């Protein structure tokens, strides 16, 4: 077994190790659902990372973009006020196809590479950041339940993120790390560890039902996420006012 550690010869002074400040800059793709809300909450509460939350308005035939946006705006306000400050941005992906909508995670990871690319570029142009060692990260809100169900999508999405993070070959390649801070927790654990008032702000249903009389959206109770919440005893049958934004 060989070692790469070089020991200075006796009598020679060891140069002082320069201690640089290290900072994590973590981008999170934030939908306003339970998993990404719990991930964002924990990342703010349990780490010192500089956090950049990003929401994509997925405007498609499911009709959930408006509900998600109500949830997202309320959650952002709650977390900024009750936990700590962080950066927030939004983008919109409009897909008019009626029969096939694709996989959100695939789009989300491409947009994620744009979000982290923008953070890196912002730092490159900011001379003061040169004294700081920065670790760039993207956080994915997969839970323990996801592994074994749609796990096959994750490696594809991760490779899209890595490929889209490549820059022109003559530039310094800074590929952010992919982290999965909630991968060892089930959705049930995540829900039961969230402040109830924060959980109440989240929206999960994929096919909200518009209630014109109440000027509100209701959960459908039938889609994959509603069914999943019923299975773990956490279906709420909640209603969001359209004026809550």
Interaction site with Zn ion (CB under 5 A): 205, 220, 223, 226
Measured from the CB of residue 105, what is the shortest distance to Zn ion in angstroms?
A: 18
With b meaning 16 or more CB within 10 Å and e meaning fewer, what string describes 116-155? bbebbeebeeeeeeeeeebebbbbbbbbebbeeeeeebbe
Please say which residue, 183 or 228, places its beta carbon nearer to Zn ion.
228
Please say which residue, 65 or 220, places its beta carbon nearer to Zn ion.
220
What's the distance, CA 152 to chain centroid?
A: 19
Report the distance separating Cα 25 and Cα 135, nearest Å.
6
Measured from the CB of residue 225, what is the shortest distance to Zn ion in angstroms?
A: 6
Name the residue among 215, 170, 202, 186 with its Cα closest to residue 75.
202
Measured from the CB of residue 226, what is the shortest distance to Zn ion in angstroms?
A: 3
Please say which residue, 58 or 161, places its beta carbon nearer to Zn ion.
58
Residue 10 phi, psi (nearest 5): -60, 145
Measured from the CB of residue 174, what is the shortest distance to Zn ion in angstroms?
A: 39
Please say which residue, 117 or 208, places its beta carbon nearer to Zn ion.
208
């Amino acid at each position: 077994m060989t070692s790469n550690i070089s020991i200075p010869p006796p009598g020679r002074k060891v140069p002082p190790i320069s201690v640089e400040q290290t900072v994590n800059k973590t981008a999170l793709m934030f939908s306003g659902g339970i998993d990404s809300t719990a991930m964002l909450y924990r990342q703010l509460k349990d780490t010192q990372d500089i956090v950049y939350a990003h929401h994509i308005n997925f405007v498609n035939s499911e009709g959930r973009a408006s509900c998600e946006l109500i949830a997202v705006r309320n959650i952002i306000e709650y977390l900024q006020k009750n936990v700590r400050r962080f950066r927030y941005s939004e983008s919109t992906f409009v897909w008019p196809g009626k029969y096939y909508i694709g996989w959100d995670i695939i789009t989300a990871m491409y947009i994620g590479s744009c979000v982290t690319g923008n953070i890196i570029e912002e730092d490159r142009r900011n001379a003061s950041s040169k004294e700081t060692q920065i670790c760039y990260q993207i956080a994915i809100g997969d839970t323990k339940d996801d592994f074994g169900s749609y796990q096959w999508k994750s490696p594809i999405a991760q490779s899209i993120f890595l490929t889209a993070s490549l820059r022109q070959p003559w530039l310094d390649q800074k590929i952010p790390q992919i982290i999965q801070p909630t991968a060892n927790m089930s959705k049930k654990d995540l829900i039961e560890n969230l402040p109830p008032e924060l959980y109440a702000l989240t929206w999960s249903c994929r096919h909200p039902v518009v209630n014109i009389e109440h000027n509100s959206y209701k959960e459908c109770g039938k889609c994959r996420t509603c069914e999943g919440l019923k299975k773990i005893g956490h279906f709420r049958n909640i209603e969001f006012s359209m004026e809550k934004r």
